[in-house]
Each structure stands twice: as C-alpha cells, then as structure tokens.
Amino acid sequence: MATDNSEHLLNEIGRLLMADSEYPLEPTLLYAQLDHNMIGESIFKELGNQFLYRWPVNERLPYALLELWEAQEGNDRWAEMEYVLRDGRFEVAYIYPDEIDPEEDVLERRERSLLRHFGEKPIVYPPFPPEDEALDYDVQVGG
C-alpha cells in the first residue's frame, strides 16, 4: 500500500467522520466492507451508555474508502476495516478475506468490533429517512 497516500486518506476519513454536525467529537467506529464495485459503511457514535448508528450522509466518505482500498498493491487486499476515532486520534485494523468466517454475518462481526473497542452497550438505530431524503441509485434493468 502506498504509505503517504494511505496516511492522507486515513486522515481524511477521520475529518469526514468528525464533520457529523450533530455528533462531531463523540468516539466513533466506522466498520467498512469493500470489494470490487461494493462499499458498505456502518458508523456508530458512542453516547454514554449506548451506541447510535448514524446514516452515512457524507458523500465523500465512500470514495475515500474506495481510494484507500484501491491503493493496496497486489491481489491480497483487505476486505473489511475497523476505523476507531476518539480524542482526535484514530486506530485502524484491516481484516483480510482469509480471516473472515464465510458462515458469519457481517452484522455479527460489526457488533463484536463495537464490543471489543467500546464495551457492551445497546445500539440505537434511527428510523429510516423519509423517501425523499433516502439515497437514490438510478439502476437500469435491461429487458
């Protein structure tokens, strides 16, 4: 992985997570899955005795994650990433495909990551955004 570019992208990801207008400074876990043509991001904010799931609203974040993933050299690419942000500092752990149990759901790994980094607390999921605010991907299905 190109170290200077990767370090720049990791710092940018931290800035993007702190750009959350409602919870900019709370301890944060970003759990991301990446593969060819796929980016999955889950953002959790620690709020005292609970975690709050945050809808990804920053349009730049998935592109920064993809650039970081694509910066890897060779075929042995990480598949998932834990990015922990607290007190203005970040820690990153990369998870490679051979470390993932194919029978285990990503939700289980994500919750285990929260437990490992922040302890056991309930997760609060907000309601789905109204349809007019939801992300809309114009997918064309051929016939």
Which structure tokens are listed for 108?
A: 């289980």
Query: What pTM, to 2 d.p., does this model score?
Result: 0.85
Which structure tokens are listed for 35?
A: 């593969």
Angle at 37 between CA 36 and CA 39, to 5 degrees: 95
Q: For residue 63, what are the domain limits? A: 3-124
- Tens-digit pLDDT profile for residues 84-104: 999 989 999 999 999 999 899
- Give strand pairing partners of 81: 32, 94
Residue 98 lies in a domain: yes
Q: In sequence order, which ranges of the chain are alpha helices (DSSP H)? A: 3-18, 61-70, 106-118
- Tens-digit pLDDT profile for residues 66-88: 999 999 887 789 999 999 999 98
Instruction: Specify the number of domains making up the chain.
Output: 1
Residue 129 lies in a domain: no
Residue 22 lies in a domain: yes
Q: Which residue has the tokens 């170290």?
A: 3
Residue 11 lies in a domain: yes
CATH number for the domain spanning 54: value is 3.30.500.20
Residue 132 lies in a domain: no
- pLDDT at 143 > cutoff 60: no
